[in-house]
Amino acid sequence: MFTSLADDMSGNPTQAQPHRRIVGLRVDASTYADATAQVIRAAERREAFWLCPACVQTVLEAHRSPSFRRVMDTATLVTSDGMPLVWSLSLLGVRNSQRVYGPTLTERILDVAAVSDIPVGFYGASEKTLEQLVERCGERWPGLKVAYAYSPPYRPPTAEEDLETIRRIQESGARIMFVSLGCPKHELWAHDHYRILNMPVLAVGAAFDFIAGAKPQAPHWLQSIGLEWFFRLCTEPRRLWRRYLLGNPTFVMLLAAQLTGLRQFGPTEK
């Protein structure tokens, strides 16, 4: 069992973590070691758990949709996927907050799963990307067991299809499920399935594309100064211009209104 090492990585994975509401969305102050330990611990204990690395887009989606914000409030752990949320936590009084980026967190969890004999599953992306992902995983983590991999159709599944998916996942033996469908689809899928599957379900953003090599990833130095969005905009301008050129200024204005007390968002709890 890997429980002792998981405990070492986090100190006390079950301890309540500092968090703040960023424009209404609850974001937890976490680290890669802590998040990884919590996921591995839940997988070993076969406990229901769902995690979302949140970014500016997630915050804005929760701001636009109170029902989505309530879904996000059920997450076991919401980490800061982008530097703007790390800076926001700091401005709201959480010192030494760290970024916990979905693709990197996925890699770190796979590192542990590969040596701990914990089977994993992948749900999402195109068939080609998923094939590349499974191939890359076999090369990088020879000991990793990919028990399940499925590229769902680009439409909502029927009730019968969803039941069949649940059955196949349960029969596969997977104990950690990674989901990549795009915001807010993968958060909603994780919320709807983590208790039924009784395992960690992780909404990991563009992790499948990046690990598979299907899309280029921003250099680390750009990520560290909060300019990953600019790199992604340059690589996919037609798809992402609205998200970044309209969404980023909106986020800055909403956060400024929160920090100055001009507006309150969602529950007032810290």
pLDDT value at residue 256: 96
DSSP 43-110: HHHT--EEEEEE-HHHHHHHHH-HHHHHHHHT-SEEEE-SHHHHHHHHHTT-TT-----HHHHHHHHH
Q: If DSSP codes are grouped into helix, strand and coil, which group holds residue 28?
A: strand
User: pLDDT per position in the chain (270 positions), as tens?
Assistant: 333 333 333 333 344 679 999 999 999 999 999 999 999 999 999 999 999 999 999 999 999 999 999 999 999 999 999 899 999 999 999 987 899 999 999 999 999 999 999 999 999 999 999 999 999 999 999 999 999 999 998 888 999 999 999 999 999 999 999 999 988 999 999 999 999 999 999 999 889 999 999 888 878 888 888 888 887 888 888 888 888 788 899 999 999 999 999 888 876 444
Three-state SS at 236: coil
What pLDDT does residue 7 have?
36
Query: C-alpha angle 148/154/156, rounded to 5°?
Result: 90
Phi, psi of 70 (to 5 degrees): -65, -35
CA–CA dist 164, 157 (Å, integer): 10
60: CB partners within 8 A, 6+ apart: 23, 247, 250, 251, 254
Amino acid code (one letter) for 226: G
Q: Where are the domains of the chain?
A: 3-212
In the block, tokens 């989505």 appear at 68
Give the pLDDT confidence score for residue 16 in this predicted structure: 65
Distance between CA atoms of residues 2 and 101, nearest Å? 23
Per-residue pLDDT at 44: 97
E strand spans, 112-187: 120-124, 146-150, 176-180
Burial class (CB in 10 A: 0-12, 13-18, 19+), 270: exposed
Edge to edge, the sheet with strand 120-124 lists 77-80, 49-54, 200-203, 176-180, 120-124, 146-150
Give me the pLDDT at residue 66, please.
Answer: 94
CA dist., res. 183 & res. 185, Å (int): 5
Supply the pLDDT for residue 166.
97
- Backbone dihedral region for residue 11 (phi beyond 0: left; psi -120 to 50: alpha; all else: beta): left
